[in-house]
A and B are shown apart, each in its own frame.
Chain A
Amino acid sequence: GDSVTQMEGPVTLSEEAFLTINCTYTATGYPSLFWYVQYPGEGLQLLLKATKADDKGSNKGFEATYRKETTSFHLEKGSVQVSDSAVYFCALGGSYIPTFGRGTSLIVHP
């Protein structure tokens, strides 16, 4: 069945550091790929999305590229801020039940 594996956290960075959160997936067909973000005390919200191979999703300085050859959708940001501290979830679409990774907690220190 479909599955998503993302790196375990917490990831702890200093402000302005470079961020990578790894995500790999197993899926049949051609699913859309998503990154959701959950800020403290809130529900999840969409951060970015890619719908087909080689698409790059981007939002708020975050980027991720849909790599079919490596079945990956790694999240990157060039310079993180304290306000980026949150939990990040990688997810697959394409079926009735979306598949989520377990989430990666990001902590950014000033």
Chain B
Amino acid sequence: DVKVTQSSRYLVKRTGEKVFLECVQDMDHENMFWYRQDPGLGLRLIYFSYDVKMKEKGDIPEGYSVSREKKERFSLILESASTNQTSMYLCASRSGQTNEKLFFGSGTQLSVL
């Protein structure tokens, strides 16, 4: 079974901490995405990567950075966590074909206190 694995299901951090969210896919996909999901706002794209070491800002990149050193791994970094970054974070991957489906991880519920 193909998989997108997010490192943590639940995470609690303190304001100002540096937070790493990891995502690994086993499908040799070129494209990877980070979304956050908040009630009433749907999915909002933070960053995406169309290949190794390549990244593009999404709709809400402020306060976040990403790293894609290997094809299978896409990391989301919160440089200095703030309470307004409390959210569900979803990672997804896709082959390089834009009309193919996305495969999603189970999500990380991050609480910043």
Closest A residue to B97 by beta carbon equals A93
A44-B31 in contact (CB<8A): no
- Of the candidates A31, A45, A49, A89, the one whose C-beta lies within 8 Å of that of B43 is A89
A101-B42 in contact (CB<8A): yes
B98-A93 in contact (CB<8A): yes
Residues of A within 8 A of B (CB): 31-32, 34, 36, 41-46, 49, 51, 89, 93-98, 100-103
A96-B42 in contact (CB<8A): no
B99-A89 in contact (CB<8A): no
How far is the CB of A91 from the nearest CB of chain B, in Å? Answer: 8
The distance in angstroms between the C-alpha atoms of A35 and B105, with both chains bound, is: 17
B101-A95 in contact (CB<8A): no
Most buried by A among B31, B56, B104: B104
Q: Hey, which chain A residues are within 8 Å of B99, CB to CB?
A: 31-32, 51, 93-94
- Of the candidates B45, B50, B90, the one whose C-beta lies within 8 Å of that of A43 is B90
How far is the CB of B61 from the nearest CB of chain A, in Å? Answer: 13
The distance in angstroms between the C-alpha atoms of A49 and B50, with both chains bound, is: 22
Q: Confirm or deny: B100 has a beta carbon within 8 angstroms of a beta carbon on chain A.
A: yes
Q: Confirm or deny: B48 has a beta carbon within 8 angstroms of a beta carbon on chain A.
A: yes
A100-B98 in contact (CB<8A): no
Q: Confirm or deny: B65 has a beta carbon within 8 angstroms of a beta carbon on chain A.
A: no
Closest B residue to A6 by beta carbon equals B42
B48-A93 in contact (CB<8A): no
